[in-house]
Amino acid sequence: MFLRAVLCLMLLGGWGLAQNSQETSQAGAALPAVGCTLSAVTRPWRSGHPAIVSIELKNDAGAPVDLIVVPYFSLESKSGRAYTSPVDIVANHALDTTRETTAGSTGVSLKANPLHLHLEKEASLTFKVDANKTKWDSEFSAKWPSLLLSKVAPPGAYFLTLKLWIGDDGLQCNKIAVHIQAARK
């Protein structure tokens, strides 16, 4: 678990802050009252074909909410293999990054570009994302995800969730069962 947290810190170094119209959420403060519901539109998933997921964010707070988030899919097999995909839920593609040169070094790191979302009081936003249009890799990889889902996750049964990092904390959608079938020949 510790290794997973460290990897998330490395990959998602561009974590943002959550801002409520009434107050700013800082370290240790409660997250805004936003719910997240995930559902699979396409069933079953076939390697190389659209794998559409619906995401609904609902503002249950008594005021408008502005969120700065780093969203990513987490796909876990029943055998424990895990894959991750930082995702731009608004534009339906892999999350954009910014290259940063490490001070005094020739090293380069990638920083996730967070999304800015606004939810009016008691409103909801719905997004559709094709998991085959995003970039994936093993959750324990030291590199930024750059592969198609069909190149990373073999056919089988999985659980999918979406996590939205907000500062040092985050929101997590419900887990859904998905089944990836082999491509037809």
Max mean pLDDT range (20-24, 74-78, 140-144): 74-78
Domain 2-181 sits in CATH at 2.60.40.10
CB neighbours of 55 closer than 8 A, spacing ≥ 6?
36, 37, 38, 89, 126, 127, 128, 129, 162, 173
Cis peptide before 44 (omega within 30 of 0): yes
Arithmetic mean of pLDDT, 51-65: 94
CB neighbours of 20 closer than 8 A, spacing ≥ 6?
32, 61, 63, 65, 66
pLDDT score of 31? 66
Q: Reply yes or no on whether the pLDDT at 16 is more than 60.
A: no
Q: Reply yes or no on whether the pLDDT at 21 is more than 60.
A: no
What are the boundaries of each domain within the chain?
2-181
With pLDDT > 90 as the criterion, what percentage of the chain qualifies? 64
Give exposure, 160-180, as e/b (b: 16+ Cβ within 10 Å). Answer: bbbbbbbbeebbebeebebeb
Q: Which residue has the higher pLDDT, 6 or 129?
A: 129
Arithmetic mean of pLDDT, 69-78: 95
Q: Which residue has the higher pLDDT, 46 or 108?
A: 46
Burial class, 6, CB count within 10 angstroms (exposed 0-12 / middle 13-18 / buried 19+): exposed
**Gap between the Cα atoms of 148 and 29, Å rounded:** 37
